[in-house]
Structure 1
């Protein structure tokens, strides 16, 4: 049976490019000499607890995988929260952590993001009217500040710092190779949010219609990527699938030739991060099952793609009609 140290070093080797010196990297992370790192790698000197934790944290290795001794242990995993606390600056934290994750992913060959979309992803919102509404809605729903929750969309502003982080987040996510699985209901939550904020008086009728039109613009960009089978801002691939059979849960798989990480949502924009090898393999297989029961909307699948997007566009038009005939924008906000 392999020792925990041997398992740790083997996991690290898998994550490193072949042209990188393994001992040099160990020495760099632990801030020790090459000779000291060699003694640890060759097991002449044992790793202490601090060194083990430092290596595991640096390479995002689940310590639970080092301690598995029976099959029943596979039922237990260690997860990491992307947010330790849901605070007023949660959006800034989300942009920072998400950007770092995608940057780390793209440092390795074969970087790919697979997303099973129950809801419209924030990285597709763009920089227009719809994008600003997404930020407004997220802050309003998550905030405990009564003034923030009563602020109309017309008075809403966000800091230049948040906007800069948002733009960096969009830029990085627009570059990565992407596989997405959508259903007909993937935009329903967004439409419900537009309806809700209109009905409580925080957005006007004209604003709600403009947000809906901006959502259409975002969908058209996604449709273009599916047609061309590549991202609009890079040569990386884009594949779109349509599935109304297997439930979609906003679960994200980030993988490369050196790593696999799963992100499972547990609150608004907060995720459990799982790097356990057994679990990531199970989720990857689940994605393959979803894709197996999905229609490919990419490339030459023009008829299926047009049918799917027409369904989404019609949903938006129906909601715009409902908003247009409503008189709720003359009401005061209801709380």
Structure 2
């Protein structure tokens, strides 16, 4: 497996603080099965849009995919006469399958992710012994973003921010006064993502989070997952929008009073107690392929691999 990115791999370039173009409208779609939030980002009816982290439903007991979650997104896009320009992945998720290819077939748009997906592909090509069946060059995606690259969603100007630590390839998308942070930060009472996947690193995640928390305090942050506390009296319904100021003051893992060394010690100890995500084996195999399903074999059935005693 490849070595984790060093903390120095996090860009030291400040994130531009002024709004990038006009501010977007954001429509969230929460999937309770995987605790994932898909976002549609747009400037109003009849405009271009981006879809962030779309979910393909998967029943692991039956080995069947379905599209109810993605179809809700499609219905919204069509109802508001939106034109899909981008299907944005924040990283190769380990907890849900991507619906990007299905949405592209229905609505159009380019599937994009960060350029460091090549590192992730190289690691998992070995884990799943994919050999020549997987090119570890990112070519499965329509576009690979570099850190700081700007792009358009219609009249909205967006910027890709490399925020590694959870995985080497994590991106956040800064659009207007909104940042779609992927798994870099969670809601303040949930904290931060694990760093024990191949190429993950707690020092790197801390510095990535600090890069985001240096943004103006009123910057809106949209979270990829929410895991509400289950112990009364702190239970609450799912939430997925916060602000930089709320995170600075109250994030239980990464608030402004927490040092890098303290965070790394906490995160390392916590990660040792965590089980693997329920859908990590199917999710990773598909998501490093931009969500594309394996080709059917001679009997017309598609197959995924399950490595035994390997992870």
TM-score in terms of structure 1 length: 0.29
TM-score in terms of structure 2 length: 0.30
* Higher strand proportion (structure 1 or 2): 2
